Chain A
Amino acid sequence: MKDLPQTVFVVDDDDAVRDSLRLLLKSAEITCQVYASAQEFLSAYDAAQPGCLLLDVRMPGMSGLEMQQELNLRGATLPVIFITGHGDIPMAVEAMQLGAFDFLQKPFRDQELLDRVQRALARDMDNRARLRHTDRIRERLATLSPREREVLDLVTQGKANKMVAGDLGVSQRTVEIHRAHVMQKMEAGSLAELVRMMMAVAPRQ
């Protein structure tokens, strides 16, 4: 997975704009792939491919905003940089509210674009690292027995073994054995580390 190169995906229906973006990214030695429509991108996109999106707000068929929503529905985390014309500021605001990473107003300086692209790629790398981390935690969580999971939830809430034994109606000794299995399976060195892991995978508020 780590071997996949970071790619900038350019989606713009205007041939000249699309091609000029390709050349600009190429001149900065950034890998990119270009698409003439949202549909074309969505049918080609593999969520495993890291990178970021350069997306025109206004396109016939599915607009940039609609494509962003579609990606959100699919759970894709690709950072989206919107490219807008002068009249599209309200759309850009809407896009930001929907979780867009950034937006650029046409025409723009190359450095502005490249800076934003670099930051978006860095964000994607972070996202993916975090994702890999949480994925691992989830994998370990999946190996726990139901009783071990109950013990884990109670101890990470800060309860002592004695209280956990009372809650579950088992002996304190039994709780100690489950707890040792949990620490082992979760590869946690301390209770503090276990708590951090659980916070990483907890659903966001």
Chain B
Amino acid sequence: MGGVSTDVLALLEATLDAVVIMDDRGRIAAFNRSAEEMFGYRAADALGRNVSMLMTSADRVAHDDYLRRYLTSGEPRILGKGRDVRVRHRDGSEFSVFLSVGRIPNTEPPQFVGYLHDTSLRRKALATLERERQLNRLYLDLAQVMLVATDRAGTIQLVNQRAIRVLKLTDHDIMGRNWMDSCVAPDDRTAARNAFRAVLMSASDEPLTCDYHVRASDGEDRFITWRGVALRDADDVATGVLLSGEDVTDQRRAENEAHRALERMNSVSRLATMGEMAAGISHELNQPLAAIANYAQACARLLRLPAPDMPEISGALEQVSGQALRAGEIIRRIRSLVRNEDVRRELQDINELIRDVHALLASDARVHDGRLELDLTPVLPRVTVDGVQIQQVLMNLVHNAFEAQAGEMGGRHERGREVRNGAGFEVRIATRPTEGGDVEVSVSDLGPGLAGDAEQRIFEPFFTTKPTGTGLGLAISRSIIKAHDARLGYRANQPRGACFYFVLPAHLETTQ
């Protein structure tokens, strides 16, 4: 161990790296324990031999050259720098180490020390780490949701590919910027900040949900449903927020589209119903008009008589104004049905709603030479409904009921006989309290009822049993009733015919 102090040797034994010291002719002057382990030589065997025995054949020649060059020209090739080299184990296998070489100061002839670090282990760990990182990245990027992590201040720490695509960013140019200021649509920033704060302060790990728009780099706003959880450190202190967001813009658009289509269908059906009932309505209006004309003309005649009957004339004039108001009322009702009014839920008395629409329904009864019976339970809880829509459903059901009976009877005269026989041509609207205290409304007739197949399909759009039906009436009625948290159902009527019914939830009166 020529020239290597015992202090140095002690130090060498303590390091985990393999350390090899050589003299100016390449002979090994020191070989520590780690080196023994790395190369499989005992120090005693290695000392005095040329370090080239630790090298691969390719490096052996070069090494002598390096050394010679350094010694003659002072030009260092490797000194002071580290690099990966392949080395040779005693058993002949080759492996990679990280080698750094330095000249030991104040040695003459010079001595050199080589530190060899087994990189295969480090590499393996690094590779594992890298693979995990890539896998995580893959998980993030495979996710169909946007993932955004920020620190407590909202500074973006991580975004996945999905988020980058939605925001139309070029790769990671968003990192380090503020989420609210850079990505949230201006109108929604307050809402987004509030939600962000709520997540940070939340004591639970349950995700909080909120909806807001993000603004893409091209200025397009996308509507996102977010779930946020706080990221916590070891002390359970919230250090940031992880957001997962679903882009529901298209879905929302489709929903709106469907909603608008239904609205359109609704108004079309209203118009169609009105069309079918035009004859009945014109009759209904003609009645008061005819009465007004008759009364007025009678008055004019009576006044020309030598001794006019004044009380009779005065009574007739009262009738004239009364009938004019009656005509106005009919027109008002029609208008409220035809108008495409917004949905308005109000606390209503269902019996009153039914009586309100009775005049129009009765005109439908007239068209069909039928009778409309009201069978209303006097005192019922009130219900929260859109009156016009419920009336529309009733008109539809009553209309269907008369059509069903008319269809069964065939020609008019046939029908007349039926009436004379007392079988009746009748539709009944009934209101009843249910056992649960809610309100059942039913429309029943004495027609043929529904055959098995029709009973299954009757609520499907475009299904119809009528030759001129659109098949939309019941489907729309059902969707209206559904929007009232109720169900439009069918059951056979006793002793015969069909019965359509729905149960409206009772409004809980605080006074009762």
Contacts and interface: CB of A to CB of B under 8 A. Distances in A.
Interface of A: 14, 16-17, 19-21, 23-24, 26-28, 58-63, 65-66, 69, 83, 85-88, 106-110
A104 to B, nearest CB: 9
A16 B287 contact: yes
- In order of increasing CB-CB distance, the 7 nearest A-B pairs are A20-B294, A87-B279, A27-B301, A110-B297, A16-B291, A66-B416, A85-B283
A58 B366 contact: yes
B282 A17 contact: no
A61 B367 CA distance: 12
B312 A16 contact: no
Contacts of A23: 294-295, 298, 302, 312, 316
Dominant secondary structure at the B interface = helix
Contacts of A17: 287, 290-291, 294
B290 A27 contact: no
Contacts of A108: 290, 293
B319 A19 contact: yes
Nearest to B323: A16
10 contacts: A17-B290, A23-B298, A24-B294, A60-B365, A60-B370, A65-B416, A85-B279, A87-B279, A88-B283, A110-B300
Interface size range on B against A? 35 or more
Nearest to B320: A20
Nearest to A65: B412
Contact of A24 (B286, B298, B326): B298
A20 B316 CA distance: 8
A63 B416 contact: yes
Contacts of B369: 58-61, 63
A183 B335 CA distance: 75
Nearest to B297: A110
Given A24-B297, A107-B289, A110-B301, A61 B419 contact: yes
Nearest to B284: A85
B449 interface: no
Contacts of B124: none
Nearest to B282: A86
B292 interface: yes
Contacts, number: 109
A128 to B, nearest CB: 28
A16 B420 CA distance: 26
Nearest to B279: A87
Contacts of A62: 416, 419-420
A107 B413 contact: no
Interface in B304-347: 305, 312, 316, 319, 322-323, 326
A60 to B, nearest CB: 5
Contacts of B283: 58, 85-88
B292 A107 contact: yes
Contacts of B299: 27
Contacts of B86: none
A109 B299 CA distance: 13
Contact of B298 (A20, A58, A107): A20
B428 to A, nearest CB: 14
B292 to A, nearest CB: 7
Nearest to A105: B286
Contacts of B371: 60-61
B142 interface: no
Interface in B255-297: 278-280, 282-283, 286-295, 297
Contact of A14 (B278, B291, B312, B420): B291
Contacts of A16: 287-288, 291, 319, 322-323, 326
Contacts of B302: 23, 27
A66 B316 CA distance: 31
A20 B301 contact: no
B289 A87 contact: no
B319 to A, nearest CB: 6
Nearest to B372: A60
Nearest to B322: A16
Nearest to B301: A27
Nearest to B295: A20
A108 B305 CA distance: 22
A85 B301 contact: no
Nearest to A15: B291
Contacts of B316: 20, 23
A89 to B, nearest CB: 10
